[in-house]
Amino acid sequence: MSHKTLSFLGAILINVNVVVGSAFFLGAGTIAHSCGVWAPGVWLVCGLLLVPLAAALVYFAKRYPEAGGIYWYCEKTLGSWWGFISAWGYFVGTAAGNAAVLKAFTGALQSIPVFAQGMHFLSKIGIESTVLCVLLFAWISCSNISLFERMQVGFTFFKLIPLLVIVLGALFLGGVENIPQMPFNAMQFFGAIPVVLFAYIGIEACSAVIDKINNPERNGFRVLLISFSTIVALYTFLQACIIVMPRVNGVSPFLSIIPALTNNPVIATWGNALISAAITASFLGGFYGMFYFNNWILYSIGKDKSFIGSSYLTRLNAQGAPWVCVVSQSVLIILLFYLVQHDDHLFVMSDFGVGIAYLLTAYAYFWASKKKSALAAIASCLLLLILAVRNLVLSSPWNILPFVLILVFGIVGYLARKRLV
């Protein structure tokens, strides 16, 4: 078994890289268009709503620096049942989010002629590119954590390209006079928060493998605190950069900047090709990061013997990876990818499943610490869950049915396991 650990800086980069990327690239343009001058405030308000939750995660990271993170926080504080509900909701919600990112990734590949031709060729010979992508990352996830760290650092450098282009665009094209003036609309502002919440999912990701961070008792909570603060500041700043640029407030602002900076069609074409490739790579980085961490959530469920067949979930390969959990999550993502047709429904499912885990973690924080300030964590997480439920209710019942059935399947598996004990 591999005993490799994550460095302190490496863990911060991984946590930031897992969160910042695909969801921001997908939502920033839409939020700028709908909220105008108030768009950066949406990211800031959602971040502030998550501050109490971040405080809870930091508190528990000090007490329980072990793999499984968000699962153990609830299990050790509230008991086996609520620990399982938290972990299963998180696992399924994250899998739904991974399926959404995978849809975005395959859509991005379709817009690049070379890859589109390759995907068409694969489909002609009976190989689905989506399945191939999941299997590729399943195979990589069965390697040791050092490979995971190196790949995430590589994805981070790709991701910096479109982010730096936004900053440069704001410097050369931006101006306060360009900010779209529009009155505050509470419905649009708060209606955008669930979209933004999806972009924040993963702030707790490193807690799933916190025992693999170098000196977890000292560095685990520091990684969570620093990475969360960086993510909130980065989102707010980048959205502000977008709204100060004229002609860049459309749904795809990232591809509008270079043509606005130069009249040279060759530079504009190749520059946008580079940005498209970098954004596509960021989809892979986010998918791979959450995919990897999510396997350890399922592993913790098995380790606590909270699901039927738990002994299989705890099986590790020679590299120390939970290979049965990797296979299980791969199958779940592929099912969600094909059963749920709309990206928006997958986003809502992800918000709802992860929102359950967030709310239970906040309640566990209150129960364990007895601090009145922990009530703020419960209130903020409850508000976020209510907004997610609202969007879930507005979604098509047929599209959310697979998600509900998977949640029920987990509960049945838990009850079956407890009956056998």
Whether the pLDDT of residue 44 is over 80: the answer is yes
The three-class DSSP label of residue 201 is coil
Whether the pLDDT of residue 216 is over 80: the answer is no
Determine how many CB atoms are found less than 10 A away from the CB of residue 257.
27
Token output for 76: 């050790």
The three-class DSSP label of residue 226 is helix
Whether the pLDDT of residue 249 is over 60: the answer is no
Q: In the prediction, which pLDDT does 243 show?
A: 83
Cβ contact 244:170 at 8 Å? yes
pLDDT in tens, 48-92: 888 888 888 878 877 776 656 777 888 888 988 999 999 999 999
For the chain, the domains span 8-420
Whether the pLDDT of residue 2 is over 50: the answer is no
Q: Return all residues near 82 (Cβ < 8 A) that are at least 6 apart.
A: 74, 75, 360, 364
Cβ contact 352:389 at 8 Å? yes
Whether the pLDDT of residue 208 is over 70: the answer is no
- Short-list 342, 266, 354, CA closest to 103: 342
- Classify domain 8-420 by CATH number: 1.20.1740.10
Whether the pLDDT of residue 113 is over 70: the answer is no
Q: In the prediction, which pLDDT does 233 show?
A: 92
Token output for 389: 């439920």
